[in-house]
Amino acid sequence: MKLRHQHALQVRRQNKELPVYDVVGGSFGVDMESLNGKEDAAAVVDKPTALEENDRGAKTCEPLSAAMRAKIERNRQRALLLRQARLANRPYSEGGTCAKVAKTIDSGAGFFIEEEEEAAQMVKKVVHKPAPVMEPDYLICDDCNKPFMDSYLSNSFDLSVCDKCRDNEEKHKLISRTEAKREFLLKDCDLDKREPMLKFVLRKNPHNPRWGDMKLYLRVQVVRRSMEVWGSEEALEEAKESREDNREIQKQKRFNKKVKELRRAVRSSVWRKDTSAHQHDYGPEELVDEEEDTYRKVCSTCGHQLTYEKM
């Protein structure tokens, strides 16, 4: 019976090429070669040609209707409004979101030094030249009484003197700040704070360019300022003489002090300090208060006074 059933299945397999179900084993038996051949044939039959693909693409690329275009435009406008609202809610601009932190340098002395940016260090104050003076506004020279448009002394020191009458050796000589204070006995407040403040020009120090710039003042203006401070030339000369005398006295005192120290250093090998305890040598006693029987003795060496009472 079993053999007959297997033979019938084989016949059906050869005729119809169907999957075979094994009743005994409980599984299907499939002819893989026949199935592969049928799949290849179906793939060849179902594969569309190039003309069919073009016709199908032409059908899908139909123009959009007016309603679809209106809907697309509404969505685009809504997206733009949302983007603008989101940008408006930002507290900072795109360039200001990144905070720059100043660099710190360890000085090694217990504190940090903030390093400035190179751009901030390079920024300098730009001084623009004044506009040219028109002919009705020409200045009159104090020496030659001729009108002039512009000059070095008028721009730097507000002095109405043209460049032709300028005398750099005597009359319009420039002096340094130190020389002005020493020669005319002026203080910093007399040069900087007393109105009107004296004008000056900056020049590089000739002794060392790395030092600070020195201030040069016009000698004529410094002399005028000294007269305002001291009142007259006689008072200025008296102040100079008194300061010179005080300087000589202080110099003599320093010299005497050095001589004294030198003598002490030379005599140190001969002179010896007495380190023994002092013994008082009292003189005769003196009556201080008779009612209280108070007496006093005075040391003849150091002048020490000893007061006591007698019982």
Q: Two tokens at 108?
A: 């090694």
State the pLDDT at residue 44. 43
Q: Is residue 80 included in any domain, yes or no?
A: no
State the pLDDT at residue 195. 87
Single-letter amino acid, residue 248: E
State the pLDDT at residue 285. 86
Which of 108 and 47 is assigned the larger pLDDT?
Answer: 108
Cis peptide before 209 (omega within 30 of 0): no
Q: Which of 196, 231, 266 is the last residue of a domain?
A: 231
List the domain range (segments joined by +) for residue 11: 2-47
Over residues 70-76, the mean pLDDT reads 92
The upper half-sphere exposure of residue 107, i.e. CA atoms within 13 Å in the direction of its Cβ, equals 7
Q: How would DSSP label each residue in the chain?
A: -HHHHHHHHHHHHHHH-PPEEETTTTEEE--HHHHHHHHHHHHHHHPPPHHHHHHHHHHH-PPPPHHHHHHHHHHHHHHHHHHHHHHHT-SS-GGGSSPPPPEEEE-SSSSEEEEPPHHHHH--PPPPPPPPPPGGG-EE-TTT--EES--HHHHHH-----STT--TTTTT-EEEHHHHHHHH---HHHHHTSSSPPPEEEE--SS-TTSPPEEEEEHHHHHHHHHHHHSSHHHHHHHHHHHHHHHHHHHHHHHHHHHHHHHHHHHTTT-----SPP---B---EEEETTTTEEEEEBTTT--EEEEE--
Q: Is residue 36 included in any domain, yes or no?
A: yes
State the pLDDT at residue 118. 52
26-35, 115-124, 170-179, 189-198 — which is least confidently predicted?
26-35
Tens of pLDDT, residues 173-212? 999 999 999 999 999 999 988 888 899 999 998 888 888 8
State the pLDDT at residue 76. 93
| Domain shared by 287 and 227, yes or no | no
| Domain shared by 223 and 286, yes or no | no
The count of other CB atoms within 10 Å of the CB of residue 221 is 17
- Are 186 and 225 within 8 A, CB to CB? yes
Which CATH number is 191's domain given?
Answer: 3.90.530.10
Which of 228 and 116 is assigned the larger pLDDT?
Answer: 228
Q: Is residue 205 included in any domain, yes or no?
A: yes
State the pLDDT at residue 4. 59
State pTM to two decimals: 0.43
Q: Is residue 73 included in any domain, yes or no?
A: no
Which of 6 and 266 is assigned the larger pLDDT?
Answer: 266
The percent of residues in the chain predicted with pLDDT above 90, rounded, is 26
Total count of domains within the chain? 3
Which of 139 and 17 is assigned the larger pLDDT?
Answer: 139
Average pLDDT, the chain: 77
Return the biggest CA–CA distance within the chain.
172
Q: Is residue 184 included in any domain, yes or no?
A: yes
Over residues 47-67, the mean pLDDT reads 62
Cα four-point dihedral sign 11, 14, 18, 22: positive
Tens of pLDDT, residues 238-282? 999 999 999 999 999 999 999 988 888 877 666 666 677 888 888
Q: Is residue 130 included in any domain, yes or no?
A: no
State the pLDDT at residue 137. 72
Q: Is residue 100 included in any domain, yes or no?
A: no
Which of 129 and 223 is assigned the larger pLDDT?
Answer: 223
114 pLDDT above the threshold of 50: yes
Q: Which of 216, 231, 246 is the last residue of a domain?
A: 231
Q: Is residue 94 included in any domain, yes or no?
A: no
| Domain shared by 160 and 219, yes or no | yes
Residue with tokens 């006295």: 249
State the pLDDT at residue 225. 93
Q: Two tokens at 125?
A: 């104050």
